Amino acid sequence: MVTLRDESVGSADATGPTVGVLALQGDFREHARVLGELGARVVLVRRPEDVEGIDGLVIPGGESTVMDKLSRAFGVAEPLRRRIAEGLPVYGTCAGLIMIADTLLDAIDGQQNLGGLDVVVRRNAFGSQNQSFETDLEVPALGDEPVRAVFIRGPVVESVGERATPLASLPDGRVVAVEQGDLVGTSFHPEIQGDVRFHEYFLAKVRARVRAGDSSSPSTAA
Ligand code: GLN
């Protein structure tokens, strides 16, 4: 179920968990649709009060510089930083990966991020000749079937810190998917390819955390 203020769309029999999708800019609707189809209750996150009840958060692709400015202007950056520091599961795709990286290269002047993931990420890392492309990626954590990955002016993970683990690399060795506990980041966009395995992988982390009673959401019962 997707809830936008008092408007609800999507599956009415969603049983949770409650997953926020940062909905300030970018392709948040695609993520909301996939998460809804997988049985999550989806909350579009735009204001500080939207952050309180969520068990996990997806940050979509889009433009990280704009997302950064809007998240500060709308007052959601600080509450999100606090929840991430407390262990909120987060999945960031493309611009979303940039938002949760601890260290950014080729950021614009004054660009801030939420941080949490112990990686160094370079924005727009594929250069003007190769900004957008698709490729099949081996992702052992998701099984034998490769993931068809769509890159759109994507970042790469230039260095993976001690706390993080690579999940997938390009044939040249550049890391394009990582995880660190309940944080997951991909340079590409599974939400537009119809392969829901990354979202399932993330939702399993959210569900495990809710079961363990670690979520600060008071509303996870159906
Ligand atoms: N280049 C964008 C940025 O810096 C990311 C592109 C995307 O999310 N598709 O935020």
216 within domain boundaries: no
Does ligand 1 have an atom closer than 6 angstroms to the CB of 69? no
pTM: 0.91
Which of the four pLDDT bands, split at 50, 70 and 90, describes residue 114? Answer: very high
Residue 149 lies in a domain: yes
| CA 56–ligand 1 middle distance (angstroms) | 21
Q: Residues of the chain with pLDDT > 70: what percent? A: 89
Which among 29, 39, 174 is positioned nearest to 186, based on CA atoms?
A: 174
Mean pLDDT check: name the lowest of 3-7, 61-65, 101-105, 157-161: 3-7
Average pLDDT over residues 95-102: 98
Question: Is residue 191 among the annotated active site residues?
Answer: yes
Domain presence at residue 221 = no
Q: What is the CATH number of the domain that holds 64?
A: 3.40.50.880
Which range marks the domain in which residue 50 is found?
A: 2-211
- CA 1 to the chain's CA centroid: 19
Q: What does the pLDDT read at residue 10?
A: 47
CA dist list (Å): 71 to 65, 85, 116, 219 = 10, 17, 16, 24
How much is the mean pLDDT over the chain?
A: 91
- The answer to whether residue 189 is catalytic is yes
Measured between alpha carbons, how far is 144 from 176 in angstroms, rounded to an integer?
A: 18
Domain contains 222 = no
Whole-angstrom Cα distance, residue 81 to residue 172? 33
Report the number of distinct structural domains present in the chain.
1
Taking only the tens place, the pLDDT of each residue in 36-54 is: 999 999 999 999 999 999 9
217 lies in some domain: no
**What is the number of the ligand 1 atom nearest to the C-alpha of 66?**
10
